[in-house]
Structure 1
């Protein structure tokens, strides 16, 4: 039941976005951040690592201190840079139906939900011609540690231009000339002090 609920949430957030969900705002910028992987742990620094960042919700600070306590080399700024890159790469892989790329970015339950949505799109003969114009902000809104399992939730405010095409390539929804404001809340997870440095997507929702 949990897996089914997650699948429905993922499809509702990512499977239906066509460009008509909100009033479009004209944007033409193409200031994409450079692709980077989610952060590896940096070398520990002397003293206590402060959790002071305008991109952190105060309610997440205690959880982030727990993350840093479990892995002293954790760097908030580096994590946010990696999370933005992962946001872009995950969206683009989903839009393109690239399940192999998604497998490197998300946990198996999330991959199953993505794959189901991609298959439904294929059966309908539809393709997505979407483009992430810009990420306006990325803010950590929650952080938790249970044992060695860390989970960090990030709110992304972004502009996305979107087109849905039918099997003949005709546009049936959306426009690439306009960008739609989107507000997503994604949760990334990782086992602290593990050999795998990558954080993977475990949940998505709309803000």
Structure 2
């Protein structure tokens, strides 16, 4: 009898400990996303616009001081906008767009960039094919993605991001011979890309509307 009571007490104590660890939310949990067809949109949480959330990367702060006013305007116009989520999305877009351009994948570029930028990419791809050149480039690492400017123009938002990255690049001719670059030596690259989106539209995606070199 005493043994059974002892086990019951131990089991009760363990249950309480498990609840203390697993049953409470600390605010740092991140739920796994459901498949897109199962997602249920949630109403946006109220958000203050007095201060732009500080986002940090391993290399330092990811928002230049001059961009804070513009970001406040974006948040004021669309309370669902999240700075950290945007930066991660911009990194993914940077990688996807570069890889699509290198491969000559104009279909993927079509839904990632606006028409003017797509036309520029298409012309460069056509020139490359005409010369018989093939790119074997690889994005080694994005050292930093920093928001340098943000602005709201009517119902549209534009956010400019500076990317500091290392890229290994090789160009081959039609016979497969290397005519430039090296995959063993990465080159520091500094790009300034501007993304735009119509605020509060059904399409949540930001598209690349302008590119430049830093």
Residues 1:103 and 2:104 aligned together:
no
Query: Gaps spanning 5+ residues in structure 1: where?
Result: 1-40
Query: Gaps spanning 5+ residues in structure 2: where?
Result: 1-40, 55-60
Structure showing greater relative contact order (alpha-carbon pairs closer than 8 Å, 6 or more residues apart): 1
Separation in structure 1 between the aligned mates of residue 202 and residue 172 of structure 2, nearest angstrom: 42
- Higher-helix-fraction structure: 2
Separation in structure 2 between the aligned mates of residue 42 and residue 181 of structure 1, nearest angstrom: 41
Match of 1:45 in 2: 45
Q: Deviations 1:53-102 (Å, cap 9, x if unpaired)? A: 22100100110011001101100000000000000000000000000000
Contact 2:53 2:83 in 1 (8 A): no
Match of 1:201 in 2: 208
Contact 1:42 1:75 in 2 (8 A): no
Q: TM-score, normalised by structure 2?
A: 0.76
Deviating above 2 A after TM superposition, structure 1's stretches of 4 or more consecutive aligned residues are 41-47
Larger Rg: 2
Give the alignment's Cα RMSD to 1 decimal.
1.3
Separation in structure 2 between the aligned mates of residue 42 and residue 66 of structure 1, nearest angstrom: 22
Match of 1:77 in 2: 84
Counterpart mapping for 1:132-143 below 5 A: 132-143=139-150
Aligned residues: 167
User: 2:144 aligns to what SS in structure 1?
Assistant: strand
